[in-house]
Amino acid sequence: MLSYFIKRLLAVIPILVLTSIIVFAGLQLAPGDPLTHLIDPMEMTADFDREALEEEYGLNDPIYVQYFSWAGSLIQGELGYSLVNGAKISDVIFRRLPATFELAGAALFISSILGILLGLISSIKPNSSIDYFGQGFGVLGVSIPDFFLGICAIQIFAVTLGWFPVGGRLEYGTEGFLDRADHLIMPALILGFSLTAAVMRFTRGSMLDILNKDYIKTARSKGIPERVVYAKHALRNALMPVVLILMFRLPFLVGGTIVIERVFNWPGMGSMIIEAVTGNDYPVIMVTTLLVSYVILLASLLVDLITALLDPRVRFE
């Protein structure tokens, strides 16, 4: 087991390095210039001291020097500074991360509960009207763009009915989680919706698969009540792949978070990435993308390990 673990870990390292090089190289290619973000190009005079600034920002070093100095400080936990507003990137991330975790976590929670529940119900009676309802829900979930759903929700629940605020996360004088729960509900539900559909489809498939297995048939023939068959025998075995699919949805969750944070003006990592991309803020784009991809890589490593733990056959492949 340990040797498998080490082997897997070693295989990840080149990917980590390769990823960082790709991110770095990509952003070197970007024809971006953070300076004109600070000053309108129409108001620059000819004597504007642009070269001195570029020199100091290290934009003139050879590329590999820039990469190594960047990667070196990255390893030391020094993530650098934003070119646009001079903020320490690590500070920004720490400040933004809770908001994103809150939103993504709530969405993940909602979608797992709802998705598994719907998947279970549809699997009990395949091809019944409940099943079709669930399946329809599933198709809708992957078909309606989440930002469009978000706009509809704002129009209906925030503007017309006034049940929820239009956007934002925290307002002055409100500190506690309960105070801002009303801000969270809509974006979390919308973000969770497409995820719910995926989880539901997978749970249903996985359940149907297991229910056809011989041991379930044996259990049924022994006269064990349906309820127990579902709860004890089928569900437990069907849930494992479902947990894994949640992990695999992580990249989609990140993508969805970016859009939803924009729709609902949620001050998280997603809006930070958009701001960085539109403002040509290389260091911020580089670091956040890299971190996100690392998180996803580690998650998939975790998935592999859990699978290996549960299914010894994997290890000896």
Q: How far is the CB of 92 from another protein (least distance, A)?
A: 5
Q: For residues 124 and 197, what is the distance between their CA atoms, to the nearest angstrom?
A: 17
Query: Which residues in the 271-300 window bind another protein by CB under 8 A?
Result: 271, 273-275, 277-278, 280, 285, 289, 292-294, 296-297, 300
Instruction: Assess 29 for contact with another protein (CB under 8 A).
Output: yes
The site that binds another protein (CB under 8 A) totals a number of residues, namely: 104
Instruction: Assess 144 for contact with another protein (CB under 8 A).
Output: yes
Instruction: Assess 98 for contact with another protein (CB under 8 A).
Output: no
Q: Name residue 9's amino acid.
A: L
Q: How far is the CB of 243 from another protein (least distance, A)?
A: 19
String of DSSP letters for 194-208? HHHHHHHHHHHHHHH
Strand, helix or coil for residue 47: coil
The answer to whether 184 touches 241, Cβ cutoff 8 Å, is no
Q: For residues 170 and 277, what is the distance between their CA atoms, to the nearest angstrom?
A: 24
Rg of the chain (C-alpha set): 24
Choosing from 42, 177, 223, 227, the residue that interacts with another protein (CB under 8 A) is 42
Choosing from 156, 231, 309, 314, the residue that interacts with another protein (CB under 8 A) is 156
- Comparing CA positions, the residue from 294, 281, 13, 252 lying closest to residue 141 is 252
Which one of the spans 128-136, 218-226, 229-237, 308-316 is the region binding another protein (CB under 8 A)?
128-136
Instruction: Assess 258 for contact with another protein (CB under 8 A).
Output: yes
Nearer to another protein (CB atom), residue 128 or residue 228: 128
Tokens 């978070």 belong to which residue?
Answer: 257
Instruction: Assess 78 for contact with another protein (CB under 8 A).
Output: no
